[in-house]
Amino acid sequence: MIGKTKELRLRFREGREAEKTVCRPLFLMADESETMLARYLDRARLFVAESEGVRIVASALVTDEGGGVAELKNLAVAPDLRGRGVGRRMIEAVREACAGRFRTLRVGTGAGTPTVRFYEKCGFREVGRIPEFFTENYPEPIWEEGVLLCDMAVLEMPVDPAESNEADESVESAPL
């Protein structure tokens, strides 16, 4: 077991390969393109949050990108549990599972969307952008809360929380 959320009685754990089929509706909430999902699904590690050990209510897919980087390719929470800290706890569980294997956890999402702010609140920092990623890689336009997705914001966080604190201190003490 990776962790628990007492209020919701959730259990976070690494998923089994066979559960990828069960989680497909969740995956498609986070990535609407079957083609894009197929690019990383087979090589991704699955993490799930279970409610009462019965229902999978959140999922995450993480890939090894080499060079000590793990990428959070897909994160989804069941609509009835959004806004209750489940996504944040899933990121914590993934980060914990990556400890000792990776230095950096990376995620890409639509630039200028509320999702960027969510990841920043979880400890990620924007490190770059990929221009026209969504318009060039998806067959149909994608809208998120009224924003047409064009560029991808790339965000990263250290897997070791101590490195996050060191990075914060170095930014604060840097000369202007």
pLDDT of the residue at 3: 52
pLDDT of the residue at 9: 86
Domains, the chain, ranges and CATH?
A: 3-173 (3.40.630.30)
Distance between CA atoms of 26 and 15, rounded to whole angstroms?
13
Which residue carries 């060079």 as its tokens? 67
Distance between CA atoms of 75 and 59, rounded to whole angstroms?
6
Strands 45-51 and 3-5: unpaired
pLDDT of the residue at 7: 62
- Show the low-confidence residues of the chain (pLDDT under 70): 1-7, 163-176
pTM of the model: 0.86
